[in-house]
Structure 1
Amino acid sequence: MICEKTRLALQKLFPTPEPQEAPIEDAGEEKDKKVPQEPRNNGLVERDYAVHGYHLDAQVSPDQLLEAVTIVDEAEFFIESITGVDWIKDGQLEVIYDFSRYDFDLCRVVIRTRVDRNHPVVPTITGIYAGANWHERETHEFFGIKFTGHPHLVPLLLPEDADFHPLLKDFKA
């Protein structure tokens, strides 16, 4: 029930009337298929939890991020993690936010946003989820993504004078 309400609320962010439905995979198929490497358009995709580990997958622009995060907050989800992905061939970095709700109605939501690799800036969500503070600091350290409006975007694990981001694909150790 909560997944359906959240789906309907998130769907309002996108111009298409209904979310895309991901193809159903046969349980007997090999699971070694590669994940598509091309960026997908902004939108909402319903996923099979047993296959993907989440129910809803929203790709949003950085301008839509706070609105999407507010929707999952109002549905009483909690932030699980924030991480980055370096799509070096596309010249983009992706920020991935995982949200969960473990009560009578299990529902997991992923919100993704992509930014230019040379200007990786997204708004902080710490004003909505205070628990995102350290997740954003870690993602900033390892990928160089700047979270505008973050209250204390200083190094968490690396030395304060580190001028590198070790999880970027072109990082040379």
Structure 2
Amino acid sequence: MKMSDAFILTGLTLLLGGLFMHAWVTPINHKATDPPYANGASLMWGDQFNFDITVENETIIRIVFKNETGGVLSADSVVLAAGELHQHTLAAPDAGYYSYEIDTKETGAIIYVEIERKLMLDMLPFPVGALILAMGLYQRSAAPQTQAEESIPTEVMDAVLDD
């Protein structure tokens, strides 16, 4: 394996990893018997949680947003009809760990949670991967062929083996 091959492989790995990191959002299937769904993340100033919540039956959902000390920053209640989609956004006022809790009041729901970063640091693998891939492709095209590579025949050779 040449150095250019290593750069190409690394660049493609970063691009593919970045694609999985952004495109693979798994919905949370929250059952009626489950306790309220709670989770959290470390956010920087201006980052936000984006929620898409669809409920199975008519209910009142409650979304509570807390800071790292456990203080409640917001608590919203929304009435939803069966099958209705509710979109909700919670923004971080400062940097720190923030948690949220979604209570569907004993009703099944499908919850999509996405974190939107203001500084777009999670997009960094794309340009870095593209640069490393471009460097590998450039090295491969600019490298002179060695004597051994030039002597390899390009046509197919047939061989007959005697018994």
Q: Quick check: TM above 0.5?
A: no
| Higher share in strand | 2
Larger radius of gyration: 2
TM range (shorter): under 0.3
Q: Name the TM-score, length of structure 2 as normaliser.
A: 0.24
Higher RCO (CA-CA < 8 Å; seq separation 6+): 2
